[in-house]
Amino acid sequence: MNGTTRTTDYLFQVYRTLIAVLLALALGFVITCFVSEMPLEAFGNFLLGPLTSVRRFGNVIEAAIPLVFTGLAVSIVFQASQFNIGAEGQFFMGAVAAVIVGIVLPLPGVIHVLVCLAAAMAAGALCGWIPGVLKARLGASELVSSLMLNYVYFRLGVYVINYHFRDKEAGALVSWPIRETSWLDQFLQPTRIHWGILVVAAAVVFVYLFLYRTRWGYALRMTGLNINFARYAGIGTASVIVYSQVLGGAIAGLGGAVEMLGIHRRFIWMMMPGYGWDGIIVAILARNNPLGVVLGALFLAYMRTGADIMARMTDVSAEMVTVIQGVMILLVTAQAFLAGWRHRIVVREATRRKEVPQSEGAA
Amino acid sequence: MDALLEMKRITKVYPNGVVANESVDFSVARGEIHALVGENGAGKTTLMKVLFGLERADEGEVFYKGEKVDITSPSVAISHGIGMVHQHFMLVPSLTVAENVVLGLEPRRGIFLDVKAAVRRTEELAEEYNLPVNAAARVEDIPVGMRQKVEILKALLRGAELLVLDEPTAVLTPQETVELFAALRNLRERGHTIIFISHKLREVKEISDRVTVMRNGRVVGVVRTAEATEADISRMMVGREVVFRVEKPPATPGRPVMRVEDLRLVADSGKEVLKGVSFTVRTGEILGVAGVEGNGQAELVEILTGLRQPSGGRVLVDGEDVTGADPGTIRRRGVSHIPEDRMTYGAAAQATIRENLIADRCWSKRFNPRVLMSLKAVAEHGEALVREYDIRTRSSATPVKMLSGGNIQKVVVARELSADPKVIVANQPNRGIDVGATEFIHRKLIEKRSSGVGILLVSADLNEVMTLSDRLLVLYGGEVVALFPDASEVTEEELGLYMLGVKRMTPEEMAGAEAAAAGGRAGPSDAEARSPAVGGGAR
Amino acid sequence: MKELLETILSPAFGYAILRVTTPILFAGLGAAVTELAGVINIGMEGIMLTAALAGVVVGALCESAAAGLAAAVAAGVLMALVMAYFSLNLKTDIILAGIALNLMASGGTVFLLYVVAHDKGVSSSLASPVLPQVRIPVIDQIPVLGEILSNHNVMVYVALLSVLVVSYFLYRTPYGLRLRAVGENPDAADSVGISVHQVRYVALIISGILGGFGGAHLSMGYVSWFARDMTAGRGFIGIAAQALGGQTPIGTLLASLFFGMTDALSNFMHFIGIPSEFVQMLPYLATVLALALYARRQVTRRARLARVNRPVEAGTGAAAEGD
């Protein structure tokens, strides 16, 4: 039936991803040539800029941290075949919760941080729970409900910050700064890399272990791969639907907290920051694998940082990178992309190994 | 004979090696109702798919109205005047009858859809062919019989002179069947030609002019309906070369482990799918359920395994009532299941073999000594089962989708049989797999039976069900119509007569047969034999 | 409180509602059409945004509002075609394609804006034309209704007209019938010779046109410039509107009006001390609520198909799951 070996299949996927990336980059270069007086310098900055200084490379790492969180969150729900795209709102509410605890509670250092993180996870979990339970109990589309709730959570968060925690002395619409005891210190000068890097590493390890080394993660993955099979084998799929989205929410919320405690130290977002959507991109690139999420996040962050550098040093604005990313997603996820090539590989392998006798008129 | 359709030397071999049609000659005269009969797998569906352009024949030619035609797609078939009414309808639920009928050929008034004309055209057609339908009603609101008429009207609107009906009575109530036959006779009167695919010989006798019998991919014979009895046709249909034999020590049945009492199922359409089915499976025996597909077996198995609620009746496992319980609960009571559709219910194709093998036991302490799952235990478990069940693979870490059909089935069987069940429900276990895998699985089933497990074997494959079963019952039209206490004493011919609705046992006969076999065995079997619950259906 | 009531019940408020509803309505109609064809168009946001920029840029270059409008529609159609190509030909998941498109539009428009106007926030350096306002002769004499209905930007009327046109298209033309058939049972449509592919392409193109109108209204009517991310989620609100409205044009209109009303209302909420954010939440909460209520009664598309076409197989609790 399937003429390829596992290795061939895997290699094909890798090549295809590579080609997609290269094509997207090539397109970016073409665009740069059109708009810039110094295309080579500009594109060079984009590709290599982050490597030119410690601080710049640090930017890549800092930018990658929230992406790993939302990437993990989305990977979890996608592996359960739930299309919950609420990472954006969950991240946001997690940040709100962390900021509130950070402002209000006087607690000693490490404990304060932990409580902030816990509050954020609880907030995110609650946010993810609603679409989950609507799907499990009522069969309501988690895509629509999570999309809608993003806006609800956004408004809710903005309300809470604006009406109860607003720093009226500051120039812009921001909250009070959080107490220093809740900070995740930036320890690696001259970068802004903070201890949140430990949290994110822990999150990656946790999600990996959860998905591949626990019975709940197993149940989640089987439900995602074939819900009928899982149900038939006695797996409580309704329960999986809920806890996958709760866990995803908690991780996304955690990400919001880490970003707050490590970088901003006060609530500054009056628009949705977009990490949730980025998380979806990261999850797609990583094919929902937690370890791949780290790579995907770094990749995305690298490109964003490179684009920023290019914008600062040359005449090309950073937004070009979104076009490249968009094309990349489209190509990477296109099943039929290079399908003709793949088909030729399949046929060649099959005839070479002669495992399956092909009859004359077979398709 | 004025042959409207002639199919000559049609041969079709599927990629997995199955010879669906072997040099089949099939011809239909103009203006007749021609029945095409055969068991599942006989090749009749494939032949019709070739006719309708859904499949390409490897060899052979098709002549329509005397001219050679090359039918490459349904559109081409339709353009020649060939229409097909599939077993599963192709209707759009929220559209009206008229809209469904004219879809693709909509009457227009300028750029607008002429709804009135559509309704009028539909009603005209309906009246002309005596296929009364409610043209303005939404298809989802009309009864099944009417939906079928809509499908026929669709074909007629597109100018079908030759109509192929695939198992049309499978979804109809007896009353609706009467109406359908009246409509078919009317169509014949108006010069249409009909190919009627069925395995219900009584109906074939009633409605058709001639019958073509297929078996094993070949045409066995063509007879005039008036000149052949149902028994004659049945004899032609049934009987294949013995492909395998299994060594089977005598059965030692023990206590009843699964009891089904008066199970009923009525579909939303009103059709009675199961009409009071009762039987008992004992430990250490294989009870076979023979029957052509579409007589209620699939639904019966769904009820037994928790995927469907019955309309009435009970299912008991070891005395406990599990009627209507969910699959997980039924599993925990000791029921394992080899599903008919392994890729939908039996396995997760993208997951590895070892992952598939623990699906029903992922919570056990064996794999979860503490919080984390022991990959080592899972791997060992996987390798052990791969060895025991001779699954051809490099390792148990291979994704299931890389395996051949037979090996995938072995993975399913390995999991289900190693769950230490009290009862195994095996539904078409040898469907779509090679001989080697089949033999292996059969041997494993016998092993389990010898170790005291009760097995319910549902199979449309006569060979399989006759070789493996100790006791055998036949399901026809949702009822148990025969019960043979000793499967080895039944001939295929006789079995065929029951499977095709030609003969049926009375409840007394079945109870009597049971008692005779039970004579000498004390205990529950006696009580059973005397109880009217054994065997058959009330009316 | 008194001031609030006065404001709400004033014709000016009604006028504001219509104005605010227009882009949402365009997005909703576009999303409804594709949804009925079986395609989820999450990329509506990106389509409208791109169209908004195109309208401003071309309008300024050609010094013509009409040219701007044409460019907006063309841009919308182009984006829709990209989505169609990737999802229908290259088999990218339609939702992911939509997300990618939104991403590209969000950044791409800012990029282009900078190239053309040398500003990343707003296009005010460009002298972009505005689509005309229209007075309706008889109606604007009517006391209250006249103030609400007349003197709107022409696109507002186009939007209302679109409801009728789309309605007629879907329910009174053969092509609309086919489109609905394709969405509900593509196999059935295929079996009568309808090209499911082609129909879905057309559906996406239609949504591109409608999204183009919506974008044009935003940057050439609602306001007269382009600002980054100016669609502000209206594409998604449109999707919500058609979900709330049950995929019918009229339902979408009503739901869009509801969204528009809460949007307009939110500016006045502080009069009675209710934070505007709560009012802004209303439409989304309403959608989720409607979803929850409907889902209970509504059988999934797949189960419905099974019930009609496989009457014996489909039964209580038996249907194989999955969306």
CATH number of the domain at A143, please: 1.10.3470
Q: Give B247: exposed, middle or buried? Use CB within 10 Å, 0-12, 13-18, 19+.
A: exposed
Question: Is residue B76 within 8 angstroms of chain C, CB to CB?
Answer: no
> What is the pLDDT at residue B534?
41
CATH superfamily, domain B256-349+403-408+418-536, is: P-loop containing nucleotide triphosphate hydrolases (3.40.50.300)
A354 pLDDT band, cuts 50/70/90, is: low
Number of domains in chain A: 1
What is the distance in angstroms between the CA of the first residue and the CA of the last residue of chain A?
11
Signed CA dihedral, B510, B512, B517, B521: sign only: positive
Contact B278/B534 with Cβ under 8 angstroms?
yes
Distance separating alpha carbons of residues C142 and C169, to the nearest angstrom: 31
C58 or A316, which is more confident?
A: C58
Put simply, the answer to whether C291 touches A321 (Cβ < 8 Å) is no
Asked if the ipTM is above 0.90, the reply is no
What percent helix, strand, coil does chain B show, rounded to 5? 35, 25, 40
User: Closest Cα to residue B275, out of B88, B511, B504?
Assistant: B504
**For position A144, what pLDDT does the model report?**
84
Dihedral angle sign, alpha carbons of residues A184, A187, A189, A191: negative
Q: Measure CB to CB from residue C308 to each of B93, B111, B112 and give the nearest one.
A: B93
Distance CA A295, CA B417 (A): 42
Which residues in chain C have Cβ-Cβ distances shorter than 8 Å to B111?
173
Strand partners, B62: B7, B69
- Residue closest to B391 by CA, chosen among B433, B335, B341, B345: B433
- Is B140 at the interface with chain C, CB within 8 A? yes
| CA gap B470, B449 in Å, rounded | 10
Asked if residue A23 has pLDDT above 80, the reply is: yes
CA angle B429/B432/B434 to nearest 5° reads: 90
Domain with CATH 3.40.50.300 in chain B: 1-62+171-240, 256-349+403-408+418-536
A230 belongs to a structural domain: yes
Give residue B425's pLDDT.
96
Name beta bridge partners: B474: B290, B482
CA distances from C251 to C29, C240, C243, C244, C282 (A): 10, 11, 9, 7, 17
Q: Which residue of B has its CA nearest to A359?
A: B15
Q: pLDDT at residue A166 above 70?
A: yes
Measured between CB atoms, which of A149, A284, A320 is closest to C288? A149
First to last CA, chain C: 47
When comparing pLDDT for C248 and A168, which is higher?
C248
Contact (Cβ atoms closer than 8 angstroms) between residue A99 and residue A267 = yes
Q: Which of A213, A219, A357 sits opposite B375 (nearest CB)?
A: A213
Instruction: Report the gap between the CA of C304 and the closest CA in chain A (Å).
Output: 14
Q: How far apart are CA B34 and CA B7, in angstroms?
A: 14
Q: A277 — contact with chain C (CB < 8 Å)?
A: yes
> What are the Cα distances from residue B468, in Å, to B180, B486, C183?
39, 11, 47
Positions of E strands within B369-470: 423-427, 454-459
Contact residues on chain C for A147, CB-CB shorter than 8 A: 236, 239-240
Query: What pLDDT, on the 0 to 100 scale, is given for residue B517?
Result: 57
pLDDT value at residue A360: 30
* Residue A115 confidence (pLDDT): 94
**A17 lies in some domain:** no
CATH of B1-62+171-240, one of 3.40.50.2300, 3.40.50.300, 3.40.50.10470, 2.40.33.10: 3.40.50.300
Cross-chain residue pair C189–B92, CB shorter than 8 Å: yes
| pLDDT score recorded for residue C296 | 64
- Domain span at residue A188? 58-315
d(CA A336, CA A339): 5
Regarding pTM above 0.90, the answer is: no
The torsion angles phi and psi of B151, rounded to 5 degrees, stand at -60, -40
Residues on chain C touching B144 (C-beta within 8 angstroms): 311
Flag residues of chain B having pLDDT under 70: 1, 16, 239-245, 514-539
Q: Which of residues 83-102 of A touch C (CB under 8 A)?
A: 83
> Do the domain assignments include residue A330?
no
Cis preceding linkage at A190, omega within 30: yes
Please tell me which residue, C135 or A154, carries the higher pLDDT value: A154
Positions of chain C with pLDDT under 70: 1, 4, 270-271, 296-299, 314-323
Tell me, yes or no, whether A10 lies in a domain: no
pLDDT tens-place string over residues B151-206: 999 999 999 999 999 999 888 888 889 999 999 999 999 999 999 998 888 899 99
Q: What chain C residue is nearest to B115 in terms of C-alpha separation?
A: C172
